[in-house]
Structure 1
Amino acid sequence: MSLPLLLRHTRASKNISQLDLSLRLGVSQRHVSFLETGRAAPSRDLLLAWMNEVEAPTSLRNAALSLGGFTTVASEEGASWIGMTDANEAALQRMVQLHNPLPGLVFDPDWKMLATNCAGQWLCTVVMPGYCEAVDHRFEGLDMIDCVAHDDGLLSHSRNAAQVGASLLAQLQTESWLRPSLRPRVDRLADSLHRRYGRLPEVPSLGLATPSLNLSFDTPLGVLNFSTFQSAFGIPQDINSSSLRIELWFAADAHTREVMSDADADAEACC
């Protein structure tokens, strides 16, 4: 993905004309046009001013800086268990296990699952049994983007699949600006969602997708409703787009809470 395309995307998403933006930035309209076509390269200060005028979130600011050859606020190298201290890895593993009997998981910036608790493994077998069979119930290293894109995956029994798919796609498209290696998988996800659900619901643009989702599933145990929340692991000054992610699921109603509590013994057997 190129910097000119990102610049054009951010300006157009805010419905700002080239002339209006040029006046705000104190440059000519011709220069704005040159920047959007790649005939000129912005300075770091101009790039940050552009991102400020279009009210771009931090993720897109860092993407623009990276594409422009400038340093971002923090290193954007990939994260994994490798290089993490034993104490931190143990803390993450303990965090998700303590979240039982509700699902908790850890995944890396490439959206590959590193760990999930017993409740998470059990729920996967309930809401996407076909996909679990396809991956032989191997959850470590599971491709979470493929899990959403697959016909038998996470959305296969979802009651609000189009909305959930649209929200996840918006988040992943934003992340792929800074992490271009995600783009082929994100494009396949987009194709899958459009094939299955047609025109997707509108979601916030410019990377403002929420880090939480409401999910509802039809299951043999009745309708199960969850709210999910994503966060990153680390002390504040070390958090960046390459930090490991934690996602915790919470029961959104009494029935779901009761089902997950009753299934705790079965969930233990999944681990």
Structure 2
Amino acid sequence: MTTQTAGDLLRHWRLERRLSQLELAGRAETSTRHLSFIETGRATPSRTMLVHLCEQLEVPLRERNRLLLAAGYAPVYGEPSLDSLAMAPVRDAMRQLLVGLEPFPALAIDQNWNIVDVNAGMALMLEGIDPALFTAPANALRLSLHPDGMAGRIINLAEWRGHLFERMTRGIEATGSPELIALLAELREYPGGEIELSLPAPDQVVVPLRLRHDGQELSFISATTVFGTPMNVTVAELAIESFYPADVATKKLLTSAPS
């Protein structure tokens, strides 16, 4: 994204959300004329109006700060380090969630899929991975699809690649993250067969992750948990990715494993 002015950035996000000026003006309870003047720089909006428009467009908090700076205002949303004292309640909540999901695998990630924390259940998935891939910041998608990562153990690799790439594309549309764009380009260069985005079978409810482990085939359903009503960039970009057994054999292996 090469735009610089607040009006340009606002227009970018309006087009990303596929809204006309009339539709956005209706949602924001303002006039189309005023919105047009903001986008073209003929009107100087208040900070409150800009935040209100960002809310209607569901602009990520990081990008809201960028838009406010472009308009000459100070950022509204902080970005404290996850290691800071203020973020201790978030760290505690995240750890409770991860531990509470054991023995099922789960990990905490940021918006670019960099790993923040993992639970003990992830050991099963991460075994055999080249240690070089764990160099900080270790990335969950790189660990999954790199030839020296999990890729060699994923039975439905082409299907799983297609699922992850679709999720990444949606994430790029939602956030505009340059890091995520670069990561997607990198991952597309990895071997793994033609990407499968086939129609689901009549009884299929999700795309499973099918993994080889000690001569067995394990099957997982993935789910994502985010923090509600985040008020700073750090919390807004955190998520818990968890993997639940998709069949009886997988559940039996996980729940019978020694703690």
Report the TM-score, using the length of structure 1 for normalisation. 0.62
Partner of 2:168: 168
Separation in 2 of the partners of 1:110 and 1:160? 18
Separation in 2 of the partners of 1:88 and 1:29? 37
Contact 2:61–2:232 (8 Å) recurs in 1: no
Query: Deviation digits for residues 176-208 of structure 1, max 9, x if unmatched?
Result: x5xxxx52x31222213555688896xxxxxxx
Separation in 2 of the partners of 1:98 and 1:29? 47
Partner of 2:37: 31
- Report 1:31-50 matches (<5 A): 31=37, 34-35=40-41, 42-48=45-51, 50=53
Instruction: Tell me the SS of whatever aligns to 1:102.
Output: coil
Higher relative contact order (CA 8 A, sep 6+): 1
Instruction: Tell me the SS of whatever aligns to 1:191.
Output: helix
Partner of 1:207: none
Instruction: Using the TM superposition, give the Cα deviation of residue 33 of structure 1 relative to its aligned residue in structure 2, in angstroms.
Output: 5.4
Partner of 2:184: 190
Separation in 2 of the partners of 1:230 and 1:51? 23
- Report 1:195-234 matches (<5 A): 195=189, 214-219=207-212, 220-232=215-227
CA 1:151–1:95: 2 relative to 1, 3 Å: same
Separation in 2 of the partners of 1:218 and 1:7? 43
Separation in 1 of the partners of 2:86 and 2:217? 40
CA 1:194–1:139: 2 relative to 1, 3 Å: closer
Contact 1:102–1:250 (8 Å) recurs in 2: yes
Partner of 1:240: 232
Separation in 2 of the partners of 1:123 and 1:30? 51
Query: Deviation digits for residues 196-236 of structure 1, max 9, x if unmatched?
Result: 688896xxxxxxxxxxx85422424215122222223xxx6
CA 1:43–1:119: 2 relative to 1, 3 Å: same
CA 1:248–1:113: 2 relative to 1, 3 Å: same
Separation in 2 of the partners of 1:29 and 1:72? 21
Contact 1:109–1:241 (8 Å) recurs in 2: no
Contact 2:161–2:195 (8 Å) recurs in 1: no
Separation in 2 of the partners of 1:139 and 1:116? 15
Partner of 1:255: 249
Separation in 2 of the partners of 1:32 and 1:199? 42
1:105 aligns with 2:97: no
Instruction: Using the TM superposition, give the Cα deviation of residue 79 of structure 1 relative to its aligned residue in structure 2, in angstroms.
Output: 3.2
Report the TM-score, using the length of structure 2 for normalisation. 0.65
CA 1:46–1:149: 2 relative to 1, 3 Å: farther
Separation in 2 of the partners of 1:88 and 1:28? 40
Contact 2:208–2:221 (8 Å) recurs in 1: yes
Instruction: Write the letter of the residue equivalent to 2:46.
Output: S
Instruction: Using the TM superposition, give the Cα deviation of residue 81 of structure 1 relative to its aligned residue in structure 2, in angstroms.
Output: 2.9
Separation in 2 of the partners of 1:117 and 1:67? 37
1:11 aligns with 2:7: no
Query: Deviation digits for residues 112-167 of structure 1, max 9, x if unmatched?
Result: 32321221122222xxx4xx21437x587523354356454456623332122221
State the percentage of identical aligned residues.
17
Instruction: Tell me the SS of whatever aligns to 1:77.
Output: coil
Contact 1:92–1:106 (8 Å) recurs in 2: yes
Partner of 2:57: 56
Partner of 1:205: none
CA 1:20–1:86: 2 relative to 1, 3 Å: closer
Separation in 2 of the partners of 1:135 and 1:93? 25
Aligned residues between the structures: 232
| Structure 1, unpaired ranges of 5+ | 202-212
Separation in 2 of the partners of 1:110 and 1:94? 22
